[in-house]
Structure 1
Amino acid sequence: MGYIEELREMIGTRPIILNGSAIIVLNHSQEVLLQLRTDTNDWSVPGGAMEIGETLEETASRELLEETGLKSEMLQFLGVLSGKDMYYQYPNGNEVYNVIHVFQADSVAGSLRVDEEGQDLQYFPIEKLPEELNPVTERILHKYLFAIAE
Structure 2
Amino acid sequence: MRKYIGQETLLTVGCGVIIEDNGMILLQHRTDEDNWCIPGGMMEIGETFEETAKREVFEETGLTVSHLELFEIYSGEQCFVQYPNGDKVFSVQVIFISKQYKGKLKQVDIESSEHRFFGKADFPVHINPRQKAFIHDWAEGKELPIIK
TM-score class, shorter-chain normalisation, is 0.7 to 0.9
Aligned CA RMSD, in angstroms, stands at 1.8
1:117 corresponds to: 111
Aligned equivalent of 1:69: 62
Q: Is the 8 A contact 2:66 2:100 kept in 1?
A: yes
Q: Given that residues 43 and 49 in structure 2 are in contact (C-alpha distance below 8 angstroms), is that contact kept between their aligned partners in structure 1?
A: yes
The aligned counterpart of 1:135 is 129
1:55 equivalent in structure 2: 48
Which of 136, 142, 147 in structure 1 is aligned with 2:141?
Answer: 147
Structure 2 CA distance for aligned equivalents of residues 136 and 121 of structure 1: 18
Matches for 1:1-150 after TM superposition, within 5 Å = 5=1, 8-28=2-22, 30-113=23-106, 114-147=108-141
CA distance in 2, matches of 1:54, 1:26: 24
Large movers: runs of 4+ above 6 Å: none
Instruction: After TM superposition, give the deviation of residue 135 of structure 1 in Å.
Output: 0.6
CA contact (8 A) 2:21 2:99 kept: no
CA distance in 1, matches of 2:7, 2:116: 31
Aligned length: 142
Larger mean CA deviation between 83-92 and 69-78 belongs to 83-92
Identity across aligned pairs (percent)? Answer: 37
* Aligned-pair CA distance for 1:10: 4.1
Secondary structure of 1:128's counterpart equals coil
Q: Which amino acid aligns with 1:127?
A: A
CA offset at residue 15 of structure 1? Answer: 2.5
Q: Is the 8 Å Cα contact of residues 76 and 106 (structure 1) preserved in structure 2? A: no
- Structure 2 unaligned spans of 5+: 144-148
Partners of 1:148 and 1:118 lie apart in 2 by 28
Q: Aligned partners of 2:94 and 2:131: how far apart in 1?
A: 12
The structure carrying a bigger helix percent of its residues is 1
Report the Cα offset of residue 89 of structure 1: 2.6
CA 1:145/1:21 → structure 2, altered by over 3 Å: closer, same or farther? farther
Query: Tell me, which stretches of 5 or more residues in structure 1 are unaligned?
Result: none
Greater Cα shift, 90-99 or 75-84: 90-99
TM-score calculated relative to the size of structure 1: 0.85
Pairwise CA distance, 1:109: 0.7
Give the TM-score taking structure 2 as reference length: 0.86
For residue 36 of structure 2, what is the amino acid of its counterpart? W
